[in-house]
Amino acid sequence: MKYYIINLGCKVNAYEAKVMSDLLTNAGYLKGSIDDADIYIVNTCFVTNVAEHKSLQMIRRVLNKNHKLVIVCGCLSQMKEATVKDLGVDIILGNKDKTKIIDYINNYKQKISKIYDLSNVDFENMQLNNFDKTRAFVKIQDGCNNFCSYCIIPFTRGGLRSKKKEIVLKEITSLVAYGHKEIVLTGIHTGSYTDLNYDFADLLKDIVKIPNLKRLRISSIEITEINDRVLDVIANNDILVDHMHIPLQSGSDTILKLMNRKYDINYFLNKITQIRKIRPNISITTDVIVGFPHETTELFYETISNIKKINFAKLHIFPYSIREGTKASMMDEQVSETVKKERVKILLNLSKELEISYMQQFIGATLDFIPETYKDGYLFGHTGNYLSIKAKGDKKFINQLVKIKIDEIIYPFCLSTICQCIVDFK
């Protein structure tokens, strides 16, 4: 039988989809396509209205196929079980039991809906064991206790919980042994990782000691989680890459307070200054929400001013999306969709300027590069500071650490750096 997985949403969802794919492949199922599968799995997202709409759209699409089984899991089904059930889905799971996907399929006799209360559950251990990519994601943590006023994630993912340190280190060691050069640590609130008295800084210290690991990347981390011990690991280990994704969400203290974020702009700026003292060339990217309730024109331009002051390398921009059940959904002074769209455009243009400015400083520089794919005589991949690279070279360099000299920048379709020569092979 053939299966096809449609994944929507964050890197955690992507990791979990890959785990389910591994489990199905190892059990003898074959990978199909959207048009010829027997089993369809839709791993849904619910973080915004757009994500919810896309998830429902994909569920309806596969239900119209000539299928034997449709399974829906993830954040949408966790929050809207009845809605998914009304569509006629065969198996409904939330954000638990994804590792039991084979059992649910093999024992299927009638429609199943299994949604857990995630407020007090253990971490569901998952481990990848099929190795086909240069960069491997490892989920170390799930859930969130922050309850930002705009965010539905604490309800869709439950409370904080973490993978046991022994399992994390074993998984990464195995991935590296099978040839992965780069590991990306991911979670809903990655920097909150803890295993009894063993915290995120302890985990970083142990991971960088794993033989043959070339790069360690943190998918995203809150500014409040970058304490002195984490900074010490970053300062003293070049295996940790020159890239950090640190969500800002707003550059206005007024809006940050309404969002129930745990910092103000001065705290954020001071921490960024600390990071750049130890990593001067680091790429710091961020998330920004525009059109949050009470965001006036003045407060929006305060955000722009502070974004420029922080000097991010790139912005990920999201128009505020009302999520029923959150505190922000009940606030007055909601911003119109027209204004949100205008502000998104302004920030997209600013992001383009910031990207080009950051990348220009590397023209003529020699950087380490790990090619991930090959096409028509060119290697494609990323540097440690996450510059997207297109380099002339031989296919034999795939998944190897090589040095490249940066010649020029291509825009607008992607900020790809064309590298005309591979200088050295390690």
Instruction: Determine the Cα–Cα distance for residues 96 and 115; give it in Å rounded to an integer.
Output: 8
Task: Compute the mean pLDDT over every residue in the chain, rounded to the nearest whole number.
Answer: 92
Please tell me the predicted confidence (pLDDT) of residue 140.
97
Residue-range domain boundaries for the chain? 2-116, 118-241, 246-357, 366-425
User: Percentage of the chain surpassing pLDDT 70?
Assistant: 95
Residue-level pLDDT at 416: 47
**The amino acid at 198:** Y
Residues 6 or more apart from 107 whose CB is under 8 A from it?
A: none
pLDDT of 392 over the 90 cut? no
Q: What is the average per-residue pLDDT within 70-89?
A: 97
Same fold, 246-357 and 366-425: no
- The whole-number pLDDT of residue 131 equals 57
Q: Write the class of the CATH domain 118-241.
A: alpha beta
> Would you say 242 and 283 are in contact if contact means Cβ atoms under 8 Å apart?
yes
pLDDT band (50, 70, 90) for residue 68: confident
What span, in angstroms and rounded, lies between the C-alpha atoms of 352 and 315? 9
Q: What is the CATH number of domain 2-116?
A: 3.40.50.12160
- Look at residues 45, 110, 34, 51 and name the one whose alpha carbon lies nearest to residue 73: 45
Report residue 129's pLDDT band, with 50, 70 and 90 as the boundaries: low
CA 339 to chain CA mean position, Å: 27
pLDDT, residue 133, reads 64
CB distance 61 to 26 below 8 Å: no
Q: What is the pLDDT of residue 415?
A: 40
Per residue in 294-337, pLDDT (tens digit) is 999 999 999 999 999 999 999 999 999 999 999 999 999 999 99
Cis-peptide into 293, omega within 30 deg: no
pTM across the whole model? 0.92
Quickly name the fold that domain 366-425 has.
OB fold (Dihydrolipoamide Acetyltransferase, E2P) (2.40.50)
β-strand partners of 31: 3
Q: Under DSSP, is residue 218 helix (H, G, I), strand (E, B) or coil?
A: strand
Reported as a pLDDT band with limits 50, 70 and 90, residue 278 is very high
Residues 6+ apart with CB under 8 A from 367: 383, 384, 385, 387, 403, 404, 406
Q: Which CATH architecture has domain 246-357?
A: 2-Layer Sandwich (3.30)
Which of 117, 343, 368, 376 is closest to 243 using CA atoms?
Answer: 368
| pLDDT tens-digit readout, 136-186 | 899 999 999 999 999 999 999 999 999 999 999 999 999 999 889 999 999
Kindly tell me the sign of the dihedral angle through the C-alpha atoms of 200, 206, 208, 211: negative
- Helix, strand, coil percent content, the chain, rounded in steps of 5: 40, 25, 35
